Amino acid sequence: MSLIIHPRPSPIAAAMYMMRDLNVDVIVIHGPSGCCFGPARLLEKDGVKIFTTALSDREFIFGGERRLIEVLKKIDAIFNPKLIGVVGSCASMIIGENLKKAAEEAGVIEKALCCNIHSGYGDNTSGAIEVLKEASNIGLITKEEYERQKKLLEMASILERTRGTARQEYIGNYAGDNPDEVAREILKVLKEGGNIICVLNAKKETAFVYADIMLALAQTSVKFLANIDPNIGLPRIREYSKEILRELKEKGIEISLITGGLDEYPISGERAKEILLEERPDLAIIAGIPHAVAVEGKIRTIAVSAGTRASYNLKSIGYDFVINEENAHRASLGNRRIQKSILGESIRRILKE
């Protein structure tokens, strides 16, 4: 694998998100105060309390386990959490800090989920896998659930390396196509009697934003596929699917086929691809992780994803239109209702015209 020189997501952040999915009440980052600041703020929006041991050169030199013990004791006393996540950082892992030993000394080992992770650990999914491994060790999830998710996360990493933003040494940035023009294109196809399939192939909570495209297309002939199986994944993730299904039902939307669970986007993407190639719609709208649905060049596609680097990548591998839902992740955190999306809003606007 060649060296990738653009910034990549951090295994520490992936570990923290996985801890959130396991319903930890608090997470302690054993590292400098600026470490994972961005993801920490997002997770706080989602209701997880995040703490840092705020290590500095003094602790790098003399060790920081004392500090971790103090912080754990303080959090336990003030917030009385049921489950505490503890993640490492580059600094604390390089100097060989022992997270579990500190949790034991702080008297919280029974409710601690410790993960010896740092930012140089490899693919970001390795952070999530480490958390799951520890969760299965301490009996929080079953061995089978661990194996199932591990396989999916490994598939996700392969997908990133072959078709995602890890596929090249450098991938640039693209702001995405004009959403109003893309919405016009959708409505033009419908007006001419063409058929459209809209695929939701999203990762976890981001489905709360991407599902809005289905709401916007409720009164049309568009057919829907979605990876929102309410019987797959961790309880929290199943809850997301249930909420979305309930809201779609309220609005009278029927899903033609459930392609998998919200943590299954690498395999649900394969299923969606098979169906698209069989049904050959005139246009496919693929939202969430579009590059998991490899139909570009065979079917006219609108890829909807988040971020300028993802948009650049999707455009360059050949999706015809690319929408950058730049706030998809931020907007999806901290609520359990479908949120307005950029493309959804454009469709609503153009429908009114």
Binding site for other proteins (CB under 8 A): 57-65, 94-96
Using the minimum distance from each CB to other proteins, give the nearer residue, 78 or 94: 94
Contact 210, 237 (CB under 8 A): no
State the distance between the two ends of the chain, measured CA to CA, in whole angstroms.
Answer: 50
User: Residue 302 Cβ, how far from other proteins at the closest point, in Å?
Assistant: 50
Using the minimum distance from each CB to other proteins, give the nearer residue, 58 or 337: 58
Q: How far apart are CA 35 and CA 30, in angstroms?
A: 9
User: Residue 58 Cβ, how far from other proteins at the closest point, in Å?
Assistant: 6
Tell me phi and psi for residue 285, to 5 degrees.
-105, 120
Contact 248, 200 (CB under 8 A): no
Using the minimum distance from each CB to other proteins, give the nearer residue, 55 or 245: 55
User: Residue 53 Cβ, how far from other proteins at the closest point, in Å?
Assistant: 14
Using the minimum distance from each CB to other proteins, give the nearer residue, 57 or 278: 57
Q: How far apart are CA 280 and CA 274, in angstroms?
A: 10
User: Residue 50 Cβ, how far from other proteins at the closest point, in Å?
Assistant: 25
Tokens 């003094």 correspond to what residue?
58
User: Residue 105 Cβ, how far from other proteins at the closest point, in Å?
Assistant: 14
Enumerate the β-bridge partners of residue 29: 52, 87
Using the minimum distance from each CB to other proteins, give the nearer residue, 55 or 159: 55
Contact 49, 25 (CB under 8 A): yes
Enumerate the β-bridge partners of residue 341: none
Q: How far apart are CA 116 and CA 129, in angstroms?
A: 11
User: Residue 3 Cβ, how far from other proteins at the closest point, in Å?
Assistant: 21
Using the minimum distance from each CB to other proteins, give the nearer residue, 94 or 277: 94
User: Residue 95 Cβ, how far from other proteins at the closest point, in Å?
Assistant: 4
Using the minimum distance from each CB to other proteins, give the nearer residue, 65 or 160: 65
Using the minimum distance from each CB to other proteins, give the nearer residue, 67 or 148: 67
Neighbours of 45 (CB within 10 A): 13
Using the minimum distance from each CB to other proteins, give the nearer residue, 119 or 311: 119
User: Residue 102 Cβ, how far from other proteins at the closest point, in Å?
Assistant: 12
User: Residue 315 Cβ, how far from other proteins at the closest point, in Å?
Assistant: 42
Q: Which residues contact 96 (CB under 8 A, 6 or more apart)?
A: none
List alpha helices for the chain, DSSP H.
11-21, 37-45, 57-62, 65-79, 90-94, 99-105, 125-137, 143-163, 179-191, 207-210, 212-216, 235-250, 265-279, 308-317, 328-332, 342-352
Q: Which residues of 1-33 are buried (b: 16+ CB within 10 A; e: fewer)?
A: eeebeeeebbbbbbbbbbbbbbebbbbbbbbbe
